[in-house]
Amino acid sequence: MPGGAGPTGGVASTGGAAPTGGVAPTGGVAPTGGVASTGGVAPTGGVLTAGAAGYGPATGGAGGAPAVCVPDAACSCSELGGRDYRFCTTLLWYPDALADCAAHGMTIAQVNDADENAWLTAQAIAAGLLVPGGSQVVLLGGDQLAVGGEWRWLDGTLFWNNGPVSGQYTNWDVEPKNGGVQDCVALHDDGLWTTRACNSGDARYICELP
C-alpha cells in the first residue's frame, strides 16, 4: 500500500520508510543497515575513528555513492575533469568533515597537481569558503596522523615524507614539521597549504567523489 512501512527485512512501498534491514523504495529513506534504492538516501554506515592508521574514508555504508554531487543550503557543487566536488561553508573539525563527505558518498579532496590546486582555490573563493586576503582556510584530505612526518592523502598515497616525495605535488607555505598537534592540511586563499590541528572546529571543507 503506498506510503506504508515494510516489515523487518521486507521492502517498503513507494514513499514509505524501510525498517531495519529493509530496502528503501524509490525516493525513500534507508535506515541503519538498510539499502537505498534509486533516489533513496543511504543509511549511515561509515564511522570515522582515530586509530593507529589515523583517520580514513568511512566504510560499511550500503547505499553507495551518488552518481553526482547534490547541493544543499551549506554546500555547492562544481565539476573538474568529469569528477564532482562539493564546497561546504559549514565550520567543522576534520573527523566531522570526513563524516559529512562520507555521508554523501564522497571524501575530503586531495590535490594531485598545480592545475587542480588552482581550480580548487578559485572555486572555494567563488563559493564563499575563502575570502581573498582573509584568514580563512579550507580543509584538504591529507594528514600525518598515522606516522609523524609521513603525510598521506586519504587513499593512502604518501605525498610528503619528512621532505618531498618523487612525483607527488605539494604547495606548502612553510614545510611541515614532524610532531606537534598540527597534523592536518588546509588551503589558503592564495593556493598555499598550511598545517593545522585536526580538531580545530573553524574550517570549511571540500569533498570529492572518489
| pLDDT, tens only, 161-176 | 999 999 999 999 999 9
Please tell me the predicted confidence (pLDDT) of residue 87. 98
Contact 207, 140 (CB under 8 A): no
% of the chain at pLDDT higher than 90: 63
pLDDT tens per residue, range 128-144? 999 999 999 999 999 99
* pLDDT for residue 201: 76
Residues 6+ apart with CB under 8 A from 114: 169, 171
Q: Which amino acid is at 177?
A: K
For 39, 52, 93, 183, 184, the CA distances from 199, given in Å and listed in that order, are 34, 17, 5, 9, 9
- Of 70, 117, 101, nearest to 206 by C-alpha is 101
R_g of the chain computed on alpha carbons? 19
**pLDDT reading at 152 higher than 50:** yes
- Asked if residue 160 and residue 56 are part of one domain, the reply reads yes
Indicate whether 124 and 36 sit together in one domain: no
Residue 72: give the domain boundaries.
51-210
For residues 26 and 75, membership in a common domain is answered with no
Average pLDDT, the chain: 78
